A = this chain, B = another copy of it.
Amino acid sequence: MERSIAVLLSGSGRTLENILDKIDDLKVSVVISSKNDVRGVEVAKKNNIPCHIIQRKNNKDVDKFSEKITKTLEKYDFSLIVMAGFLSFYNFPEKYNQKIMNIHPALIPSFCGKGYYGMKVHREVYKRGVKVSGCTVHLVDKKYDHGPIVIQKACALKAEEKPDDIARKVFELEKKAYPEAINLYLNEKLTIKNNRVFISD
């Protein structure tokens, strides 16, 4: 399988930077950003990655928005679509089923679902006073944070740690978990049965 991915993002591009930094022999064929004025677009340009902006706010209809993404993706070759801080719903075509990966900054099924992204997640983790949080890499289906779970990594939390501290700790886990999961996918180590992800050696 070709070691190439497409990346969807809406923000700072720090996840894209991490992927580029951590995965050798990886081609990012294209970046699509749902926002115009974000740092992620600069990261793509700096790395000479073709970058398209398909703004959600200019495409109120989610199906038309999704269609534009699909049409753009179709111009490129890739084995996997990686959501790297992509905040919009993408109503993807059947052919991309189990070919889209996402990362969530908590241990699914805790602190996830519609509206749970970014600092909101860590603020809720803080409020509930849990002693363990973490991150989840999963394949994407048509419900928020619902697809098969590839990798989860956990970290211990103390009551003293504020949402910002939790965010920092969890992002350290993300930096390892996402490249690991993408590599497993590109090296054809994943099998999915009944919404469960089996990893072969």
Give chain A's interface residues, CB within 8 Å of chain B. Answer: 107-111, 127-132, 134, 136, 148-154, 156, 158-160, 193-199
Closest to A111 in B: B109
Name 7 A/B residue pairs within 8 A (Cβ), A-sorted: A108-B130, A109-B110, A109-B130, A131-B136, A131-B150, A131-B197, A154-B154
Assembly CA distance A198 to B159 (angstroms): 5
A138–B151 alpha-carbon span in the complex (Å): 27
Tell me the smallest distance from the CB of A184 to a CB of chain B, in Å.
12
Residues from chain B with Cβ under 8 Å of A158 in the complex = 199
The residues of B that contact A160 with a CB separation of less than 8 Å are 198
Residues in chain B near residue A195, CB distance under 8 A:
127-129
A147 CB to nearest chain B CB (Å):
10
A158 to chain B: closest residue by CB: B199
* Chain B residues within an 8 Å CB radius of A107: 107, 110, 130, 132
Question: A142 vs B132: C-alpha distance in the bound complex, in angstroms?
Answer: 23
Q: Are B130 and A152 in contact (CB under 8 A)?
A: yes
The answer to whether B159 touches A196 (Cβ under 8 A) is: yes
A109 to chain B, nearest CB (A): 5
The complex places the Cα of A195 from the Cα of B125 at a distance, in Å, of 12
Among candidates B129, B131, B153, residue contacting A132 with C-beta atoms closer than 8 Å: B153
Which residues of chain B come closer than 8 Å to A150, judged between CB atoms?
Answer: 131
The answer to whether B149 and A130 have CB atoms under 8 Å apart is yes
B110 near A159: Cβ-Cβ < 8 Å? no
